[in-house]
Amino acid sequence: MADPQTLKTDARRHHDPSVRGFASDNYAGAHPEVLAALTLANGGHQVSYGEDQYTEHLQRVMHSHFGPTAEAFPVFNGTGANVTALQALTDRWGAVVCAETAHINVDEGGAPERMGGLKLLTVPTPDGKLTPELIDRQAWGWEDEHRAMPQVVSITQNTELGTVYTVDEIRAVVEHAHGLGMKVHLDGARIANAAASLDVPMRTFTNAVGVDVLTFGGTKNGMLFGEAVVVLNPDAVSHMKHLRKMSMQLASKMRFLSVQFEALLAKDLWLRNARHANEMAQRLAAGVRTVDGVEILYAVEANAVFARLPQDVTRRLQERFRFYFWDEAAGDVRWMCSFDTTEDDVDTFVQALKEEMAR
Ligand SMILES: Cc1ncc(COP(=O)(O)O)c(C=O)c1O
């Protein structure tokens, strides 16, 4: 192990590792247990492109979480995971019904449309969640050749607004979608935070209620990088392997993706990390509620706090801590907690918020 003192003075270290903000859960580094697992997988030769022993073992680990039909396809990033999964679920004429706030709609640079050739049929929602009634606003016209054919419902758990679908809410979405002959994709960039919040195993709100395919978020949960498409219903997809390669998401040294998932999932690191991030968000929300004039916008159910405050206060605060406007005109901001957020980070931030509101 390198001496931390030496590292501090190493000219190759270009940042201060004691500085953390509330901008994103992927501003955090990798969890030390993940880094240790990478070292373990290093050395010697392993077959490339997923025929290695780490990827083989990962399938068994995934079975323990998602049941024996689950098959994991490790990929580089979440956009790639979503676009690959959605292509595998649709025909060329297919469309995907999703919330207007869905990452696939607002934060993937048009990749589902441009790279996946997919039409997104979006629905405004009050809290980032789809319901059977909201799905019906776009799920129609299957016989109409003038309309892209709604074939998939995509939900995000937890949502981009920090809210968490209950198990019953997902069951209702899946039953409705399946009843219409549609399949269900779950964007699980923060699936661990959702499971921690609901206090149930991940399978309870995925394969147990009939979700066809999910994307599992590793990066925000403590990996260096990497996500996985997890196929739960093999009959719902076609040609995942070919689509992953065609979508430029096939890693040659896949063992280094797979071993990171194993580090998270073989024991309880995924849950420890997610619980901690969620607890820090609760602490942050409790602190923010003590500050007059700051409004919390959505239920704080995972690791995000959305708030409305005067723009000038936000700008001053941003000189002290990194975080983003969510809707600048409205004065809405997003504060994210991660697995390495500390109580002290939260308390210092709340104190700064109080000071700036009082100025
Ligand atoms: C809901 C959601 N899906 C997917 C992703 C993954 O995106 P990326 O392509 O940046 O890994 C993110 C990351 O912010 C996300 O918040």
Question: Once rounded to an integer, what is the mean pLDDT over residues 320-346?
Answer: 97
Distances (CA, A) of 64 to 70, 217, 242, 273: 9, 17, 26, 19
Determine the distance separating the centroid of ligand 1 and the alpha carbon of 323, expressed in angstroms: 17
Query: What is the Å distance from ligand 1's center to 227 Cα?
Result: 9
Cβ neighbours of residue 298 closer than 8 Å, sequence gap 6 or more: 127, 128, 161, 162, 163, 306
Q: How far is the CA of 335 from the centre of ligand 1 (A)?
A: 16
Residue 300 CA: distances (Å) to CA of 101, 160, 197: 17, 12, 10
Q: What is the mean pLDDT of residues 282-306?
A: 98
In the prediction, which pLDDT does 10 show? Answer: 81
pLDDT tens digits, 224-254: 999 999 999 999 999 999 999 999 999 999 9
pLDDT for position 11: 86
- Written as six digits, the tokens of 172 are 């209702």
Q: Are 273 and 279 in contact (CB under 8 A)?
A: no
pLDDT-derived band at 1, boundaries 50, 70, 90: very low
Pocket of ligand 1 (CB under 6 A): 77-79, 103, 156, 160, 187, 189, 219
Both tokens of residue 190?
């923060």
**Residues present in the chain in total:** 359
Q: Whose CA is nearest to atom 5 of ligand 1?
A: 78
Q: How far is the centre of ligand 1, averaged over its atoms, from the C-alpha of 159 (Å)?
A: 11
Out of 84, 103, 161, give the residue to mutate to test ligand 1, the one with the largest number of ligand atoms within 8 Å of its CB: 103
* Cα 170 to chain centroid, rounded: 16
Lowest mean pLDDT among 6-10, 259-263, 311-315, 345-349: 6-10
Write out pLDDT tens, residues 48-97.
Answer: 999 999 999 999 999 999 999 999 999 999 999 999 999 999 999 999 99
Nearest to 71 by CA among 235, 273, 270: 235
For 202-223, the pLDDT digits (tens) are 999 999 999 999 999 999 999 9
Measured from the CA of 159, which atom of ligand 1 is nearest? 1
Yes or no: say if 341 and 280 are a contact pair by the CB < 8 Å rule: yes
Q: What is the pLDDT of residue 192?
A: 98
Taking the CA of residue 24 as reference, the ligand 1 atom at the shortest distance is 14
Q: In what order do the strands lie in the sheet with 213-217?
A: 71-75, 227-231, 213-217, 183-188, 149-156, 94-99, 119-123
Query: Tens of pLDDT along 93-131?
Result: 999 999 999 999 999 999 999 999 999 999 999 999 999
pTM: 0.96
Amino acid letter, residue 186 = L
* Torsion (CA) 133, 306, 156, 64 in degrees, nearest 10: -130
Strand 213-217 versus strand 183-188 pairing type: parallel
